[in-house]
Amino acid sequence: MNVLGIETSCDETAAAVVTASGEVLSSIVASQLKLHAPYGGIVPEIASRQHLRDLPRTASEAMRRAGMEWRDIQGVAATCGPGLMGALMIGLSWAKAAAWARALPFIGVNHLEGHLAAVELNQAPLPRPFVGLVASGGHTSLYLVAAGQPAHYSLLASTRDDAVGEAFDKVAKLLGLSYPGGPAIERIAGKREPDKIKFPQPRMKDGSLAFSYSGLKTAVRYLVDKARQRGEKIDSAEVAAAFQQAVIKDLIHKSLKAVKQHDARALALTGGVAANRFLRQTLAAEAEKISLPFYCPPIEWCTDNAAMIALAGARRLSLGERSAWDLPAVPNLQL
């Protein structure tokens, strides 16, 4: 079964053709990063305008690279949430119309289920149950993925305030670094000693796995403000290194705690923040210490893409699941 996947939930216009077993035949992503960079964050109306402009050629390119005609496609999947309302609406409208016109089965896909499916693109399925950490600009969530048709997802923890990628963006702004903040902080932190400054570890009083990064962000702001009042120059690289370490330590601590609590047989890392090399490497090393199978997809499938949507959709379509033609976009869709 070849499934065409469409993703327009945020600032990437993406289309891909994937088989139900997870083989990626094509995956095209038109990134809007440069368009939003001058604003220091994603501007929803600019994103929507660009999606509409980029989607037709992104979709045809995905078909062409896969060497497919429409008659070779057996199903269509599109992200229906969570994400930006206006942005979601474009991919969803396009995909529903295309599937309807070709009398193809259609399914709306939860973007987070897509991120969790990404770890199994071009890859043997992970042993179940596994813990999946989705870390991105919009999400910081831990899921337990249990065996089942379709897989059974339990949300173990999510963020109480800022998503981790958002925290990186805000701290980068405080330090006068460019958008997006993740790569900027990673770059400037480099190999700097991260222990010169001690930031509080963002732990929940109730011992829960929930994430919270606003306290850490406030600590950075306090540091920057205090230095400014004293007329001192802050060492941005030092602050970046300490902040990055505090965040990553927290992500790792909670991921491993979740694995232990639920007797998980593997750990997966996905989402745009997985592009952080320090996070990938440290998490891999910590997992190895306890002989826990760890998997993180290539960066192109960690960040938003349509291959993951196509796979998550293909799995549901092959079980006979269908979405109705009146399926709405749901900006705060839960998994």
In a 13 Å sphere around the CA of 63, the CA atoms on its Cβ side amount to: 17
Q: Which is nearer to other proteins, 90 or 302 (CB)?
A: 90
Determine how many CB atoms are found less than 10 A away from the CB of residue 278: 17
> Using the rule CB under 8 A, is 92 a contact of other proteins?
yes
> Using the rule CB under 8 A, is 103 a contact of other proteins?
yes
Cα–Cα distance, 201 to 66 (Å, whole number): 46
Residue 173: CB minimum distance to other proteins, A: 16
> Using the rule CB under 8 A, is 159 a contact of other proteins?
no
- Pattern 240-259, other proteins, x by CB under 8 A: --------------------
Cα–Cα distance, 298 to 184 (Å, whole number): 20
Q: Is 19 helix (H, G, I), strand (E, B) or coil?
A: strand
Cα–Cα distance, 146 to 167 (Å, whole number): 30
Are 44 and 84 in contact by the 8 Å Cβ rule? The answer is yes
> Using the rule CB under 8 A, is 108 a contact of other proteins?
no
Q: Which is nearer to other proteins, 89 or 248 (CB)?
A: 89
Residue 92: CB minimum distance to other proteins, A: 7
Residue 6: CB minimum distance to other proteins, A: 9
For strand 106-110 and strand 75-81, is the pairing parallel, antiparallel, or unpaired?
Answer: parallel
Q: Which is nearer to other proteins, 86 or 215 (CB)?
A: 86
> Using the rule CB under 8 A, is 328 a contact of other proteins?
yes
Cα–Cα distance, 95 to 99 (Å, whole number): 6
Q: Which residues in 14-53 contact other proteins (CB under 8 A)? A: 38-39, 43, 45-46, 48-49, 52-53
Residue 197: closest CA among 228, 234, 170: 234
Stretch that binds other proteins, among 95-103, 210-218, 258-266, 277-285 (CB under 8 A): 95-103
- Omega before residue 129 within 30° of 0, cis: yes
Applying CB under 8 A, which of residues 101, 232, 263, 291 lies at the interface with other proteins? 101
> Using the rule CB under 8 A, is 64 a contact of other proteins?
no
Residue 110: CB minimum distance to other proteins, A: 17
> Using the rule CB under 8 A, is 99 a contact of other proteins?
yes
- Per DSSP, the residues of 211-261 read B--HHHHHHHHHHHHHHHHTTPPP-HHHHHHHHHHHHHHHHHHHHHHHHHH
Residues binding other proteins (CB under 8 A): 38-39, 43, 45-46, 48-49, 52-53, 55-57, 59-60, 70, 85-86, 89-103, 325-329
